[in-house]
Amino acid sequence: MAERKLWANRRAAIKYFLATAILSIGGCASRGSGIGLSLEFYNKGTRPLLVKRFDSDEKRGPVPGHLGPQGGGARMAFMPGDIKEGISNFIEVEWFLHSEEFLAWSNNTPDNERYSKENREIFRKLWATNPHYVQRIELTPILTPELIAKVQADRSNTQLKMIVIFRDDKVEITAKPYKWR
């Protein structure tokens, strides 16, 4: 009986191993060839800001968070397999600029007091004074077929580099091929 059970377990293990191998090979073979993407976010405005949303085609996208004034930035890079949906048609960006009142309170209040329960209501009232912006940017004129063709021509060494620049109440996006190795 023990021998029969051992053979049954071996058969199950072999079936499991073969199924895993076949599914893995099939998954790799069916993967489309995408392009790599490099995102750079810069704040060229006069005040710090917080990026709340960076959505492409109504799908949640990467968020750089806080960006300092006068060139403060963040960088992100994605490999070709990371972006499975293809090239986006538009980007919707939502951000908050820090108001003078919020900055003054935040700069003059120690961290342990700023986020305490006692100051929570003050934080909420001052946060409400921060200007809030939402902008939708069509990517069709920016991501031209010629630009995509340049990136796809040398997929292994080239990424699509999108530069996102915030200027207080406006945001602009530029794109170019980026040779990364």
Q: What is the pLDDT of residues 76-92, one digit of tens each?
A: 887 776 665 667 788 89
Q: What would the mean pLDDT of 95-108 be, rounded to a whole number?
A: 91
pLDDT by residue (tens digit) across 152-174? 888 888 888 999 999 989 999 99
Q: How far apart are CA 15 and CA 99, in angstroms?
A: 63
Q: What would the mean pLDDT of 111-115 be, rounded to a whole number?
A: 84
The pTM for the full model equals 0.73
Q: Classify burial at 107, counting beta carbons within 10 Å of its beta carbon; exposed 0-12, middle 13-18, buried 19 or more.
A: exposed
Say yes or no to pLDDT of 42 above 80.
yes
Q: What is the pLDDT of residue 163?
A: 92
Say yes or no to pLDDT of 19 above 50.
no
Name the strand (E) or helix (H) holding 171: strand 170-179
Say yes or no to pLDDT of 12 above 70.
no
| pLDDT band (50, 70, 90) for residue 97 | very high
CA angle 60, 71, 99 (to 5 degrees): 75
Q: What is the pLDDT of residue 1?
A: 57
Q: What would the mean pLDDT of 62-74 be, rounded to a whole number?
A: 83
Q: What is the pLDDT of residue 140?
A: 87
Phi/psi of residue 68, each to 5°?
Answer: -75, 165
Q: What is the pLDDT of residue 82?
A: 61
Say yes or no to pLDDT of 26 above 50.
no
